[in-house]
Amino acid sequence: MSGPTAPANAPTDRLQDGIYFRHGKTPGQCYRLLLLNVDPGTTPNDARAAIIAVWQTLQDLSRGVARDLQPTRPSDPKISVPVASLTCLLGFGARLFNPDLHVPRLMDPALRPWELVALRRPGAPFPNLPWALEEHQKPGETDLAIQFIAETELAVNLAVVEVWKLIVDRGLPLKIVTFHGGFARLDGRSWIDFHDGVNNMEAGEERRSAIEAVIADPPWMEGGTYMGFFRLAVDLASWRLLPREHQEILVGRDKLTGCPLEKVNRGPDGELVPVTPVGCPVSGTEPGSLRPEDREVPRVGDTLVGASHIHRSNHNRGAPNTDANNRIFRQGYEFLESPREGELSLGLNFVSFQRDLRRLKNSLRLPDWLGDVNFGGQVSPKPGEPAPIKLISAITGGFYAVPPKEEPFPGAEIM
Amino acid sequence: MAKEPGNLSDFRETALNEWSKLIQGYFPEERSNQLLVEPDDRTPDVVAVDWGAYPVRIRECLQSLPKSYRLLGWSTPQGDIGRADFQEEYFEWRVVRDATGKIRRVEMTTEFPEYWGILAAHHPVETLRLVARFAGEPSVSPRAVYGKVDPFHPDVTPEKRKAGFVETMRTFGGNAPWSPYNNGQKAICFMTQGANTMYALIALVAKAAFPYGAEDSETGELRRLSGPEAIAGTRQSAQACRNSDPTVVGATIGLAWDGRLFALDDPIGIYISSVQNERLLQPDGSPVPLEWFDFQRGSRPSGSEGLERSQRLVFEVPPGMGFVVGDLIDSDTDQRIEFGGQIADLVTLVVYLRVSERNAVQTQPEQVPMPTVVPCEQDPGCTYIISRNEEFEESQRNLLAGTPVNILDRTGNPIS
- Residue to mutate among A208, A212, A215, with most B CBs inside 10 A, is A215
CB contact under 8 A, B50 and A316: yes
- Calpha distance B343→B332 (Å, rounded): 12
- Calpha distance B45→B266 (Å, rounded): 13
pLDDT value, residue B303: 64
A-contacting residues in B 244-303 (Cβ below 8 Å): 244, 246-247, 250-251, 254-255, 257-258, 260, 273-274, 276, 278-279, 285-287, 303
B227 touches chain A (CB under 8 A): yes
B60 touches chain A (CB under 8 A): yes
Tell me the average pLDDT across B194-208. Answer: 97
Answer whether B249's CB lies under 8 Å from B227's CB. yes
- For residue A306, the Cα-to-chain-centroid distance in whole angstroms is 25
B247, B274, B304: residue with CB nearest A322: B247
- Residue B122 belongs to a domain: yes
Sort out which chain B residues have CB atoms less than 8 A from A388's CB and list them.
none
Single out the residue of B271, B82, B107, B270 nearest to residue B181, CA to CA: B107
Residue of A nearest to B258 (CA): A298
Q: Which residues are CB-contacts of A323 (< 8 A; sequence separation ≥ 6)? A: A356, A358, A359, B52, B56, B243
Tell me the average pLDDT across A19-32. Answer: 93
- Does the pLDDT of residue B28 top 60, yes or no? yes
pLDDT bracket for residue A3 (50, 70, 90):
very low
A18: left (phi over 0), alpha (psi -120 to 50) or beta: left
Residue of A nearest to B377 (CA): A215
Min Cα–Cα distance to chain B from A331, Å: 21
B65, B251, B258: residue with CB nearest A114: B65
Q: Which residue has the higher pLDDT, A58 or B403?
A: A58
Could you give the ipTM of this predicted complex? Answer: 0.87
- Residue B186 belongs to a domain: yes
Min Cα–Cα distance to chain B from A60, Å: 34
Upstream peptide bond of A104 is cis (omega within 30 degrees of 0): yes
CB contact under 8 A, A202 and B219: yes
Which pairing describes strands B35-36 and B262-264: parallel, antiparallel, or unpaired?
Answer: parallel
- Residue B134 belongs to a domain: yes
Tell me the average pLDDT across B57-71. Answer: 94
First to last CA, chain A: 35
- On the CB side of B75, CA atoms within 13 Å amount to 17
pLDDT value, residue B400: 67
pLDDT value, residue B304: 58
Q: What is the residue range of B186's domain?
A: 113-190
Answer whether B209's CB lies under 8 Å from B34's CB. yes
Sort out which chain B residues have CB atoms less than 8 A from A299's CB and list them.
47, 251, 254-255, 258, 355
First to last CA, chain B: 51
| Mean predicted lDDT score pLDDT of chain B | 93
Tell me the average pLDDT across B284-307. Answer: 90
Answer whether A344's CB lies under 8 Å from A219's CB. no
- Calpha distance B206→B24 (Å, rounded): 12
- Residue B267 belongs to a domain: no
- Calpha distance A347→A137 (Å, rounded): 13
CB contact under 8 A, A298 and B254: yes
- Calpha distance B263→B24 (Å, rounded): 12
Tell me the average pLDDT across A352-358. Answer: 95
- Calpha distance B74→B84 (Å, rounded): 9
Q: Which residue has the higher pLDDT, A200 or B234?
A: B234
pLDDT bracket for residue A292 (50, 70, 90):
confident
pLDDT bracket for residue B415 (50, 70, 90):
very low
- For residue B63, the Cα-to-chain-centroid distance in whole angstroms is 23
CA distances from residue A4 to A1, A7, A234, B155 in whole angstroms, order as listed: 10, 9, 51, 82
Which pLDDT tens digit goes with each residue over A236-281? 999 999 999 999 999 999 999 999 999 999 999 889 999 998 888 8
**Within chain B, how many helices (H) and strands (E) appear?**
13, 17
| Number of Cβ atoms within 10 Å of the Cβ of B377 | 18
Q: Which residue has the higher pLDDT, B251 or A2?
A: B251
Which pLDDT tens digit goes with each residue over B150-163? 999 999 999 999 99
Min Cα–Cα distance to chain B from A236, Å: 28
Answer whether B373's CB lies under 8 Å from A321's CB. yes
Strand partners, A408: none
Residue of A nearest to B47 (CA): A301
Q: Where are the beta strands (DSSP E) in A262-373?
A: 263-266, 272-275, 329-330, 333-337, 345-354
**Mapping DSSP to helix (H, G, I), strand (E, B) and coil, where does residue B385 land?**
helix
CB crowding B46-78: b at 16 or more within 10 Å, else e? ebbbbbbbbbbbbbbbbbbbbbbbbbbbbbbeb
- Calpha distance B148→A114 (Å, rounded): 48
- Residue to mutate among A114, A116, A121, A299, with most B CBs inside 10 A, is A299
Answer whether B273's CB lies under 8 Å from B350's CB. yes
- Calpha distance A331→A210 (Å, rounded): 13
Sort out which chain B residues have CB atoms less than 8 A from A302's CB and list them.
45
Angle at alpha carbon of residue B60, lines to A317 and A360, rounded to 5°:
40
Sort out which chain A residues have CB atoms less than 8 A from B348's CB and list them.
366-367
- Residue B151 belongs to a domain: yes
- Which DSSP helix (H) or strand (E) runs through A153? helix A153-170
CA distances from residue A354 to A25, A43, A102, A226, B290 in whole angstroms, order as listed: 18, 31, 28, 5, 28
B243, B258, B260: residue with CB nearest A322: B243
- Residue B161 belongs to a domain: yes
If you write DSSP's letter for every residue of A192-209 in order, what string do you get? TSSB-STTSPPTTHHHHH
Min Cα–Cα distance to chain A from B402, Å: 29
A302, A323, A366: residue with CB nearest B274: A366
Residue of B nearest to A372 (CA): B274
Answer whether B379's CB lies under 8 Å from B231's CB. no
| Number of Cβ atoms within 10 Å of the Cβ of B184 | 28
- Does the pLDDT of residue A4 top 50, yes or no? no
- At position A269, the amino acid (one-letter code) is D
| Number of Cβ atoms within 10 Å of the Cβ of B7 | 15
Number of domains in chain B: 1
Give the helix, strand, coil percentages of chain B, each rounded to 5: 35, 20, 45
What is the percent of chain A where pLDDT is above 90? Answer: 73
Length of chain B: 416
Q: How many CB pairs under 8 A join A and B?
A: 139
Rounded-to-10 torsion of CA B403, B406, B407, B412: 150
Upstream peptide bond of A7 is cis (omega within 30 degrees of 0): no
Length of chain A: 415
| Mean predicted lDDT score pLDDT of chain A | 91
- Calpha distance A62→A58 (Å, rounded): 6
pLDDT value, residue A31: 98
- At position B3, the amino acid (one-letter code) is K
By CB neighbour count within 10 A (0-12 exposed, 13-18 middle, 19+ buried), where does A168 fall? exposed
pLDDT value, residue A175: 98
Phi, psi of A270, deg, nearest 5: 85, 5
Answer whether B188's CB lies under 8 Å from B109's CB. yes
Phi, psi of A341, deg, nearest 5: -55, 130
B357 touches chain A (CB under 8 A): yes
Residue of A nearest to B51 (CA): A324
Phi, psi of A263, deg, nearest 5: -160, 170
Answer whether B332's CB lies under 8 Å from A356's CB. no
Sort out which chain A residues have CB atoms less than 8 A from B251's CB and list them.
299, 316-318
B314 touches chain A (CB under 8 A): no
Single out the residue of B297, B296, B279 nearest to residue B288, CA to CA: B279
CB contact under 8 A, A302 and B258: no
pLDDT bracket for residue A84 (50, 70, 90):
very high
- Calpha distance B3→B267 (Å, rounded): 5
pLDDT value, residue B401: 65
If you write DSSP's letter for every residue of B121-159 in order, what string do you get? HH-HHHHHHHHHHHHT-S---HHHHHTT--TT-TT--HH
Q: Which residues are CB-contacts of A215 (< 8 A; sequence separation ≥ 6)? A: A222, B59, B60, B63, B377
Q: Which residue has the higher pLDDT, A110 or A290?
A: A110
Which pLDDT tens digit goes with each residue over A147-195? 999 999 999 999 999 999 999 999 999 999 999 999 999 888 999 999 8
- Residue B135 belongs to a domain: yes
pTM: 0.91
- Does the pLDDT of residue A204 top 90, yes or no? no
CA distances from residue A201 to A289, B41, B148 in whole angstroms, order as listed: 16, 35, 58
- Residue B185 belongs to a domain: yes
- Does the pLDDT of residue A1 top 60, yes or no? no
- Does the pLDDT of residue A8 top 80, yes or no? no
CB contact under 8 A, A214 and B377: yes
pLDDT bracket for residue A282 (50, 70, 90):
confident
DSSP B305: B
| Four-residue CA torsion sign, B68, B70, B76, B80 | positive
Min Cα–Cα distance to chain A from B251, Å: 7
- Does the pLDDT of residue A63 top 90, yes or no? yes
- At position B414, the amino acid (one-letter code) is P
B48, B246, B377: residue with CB nearest A322: B246
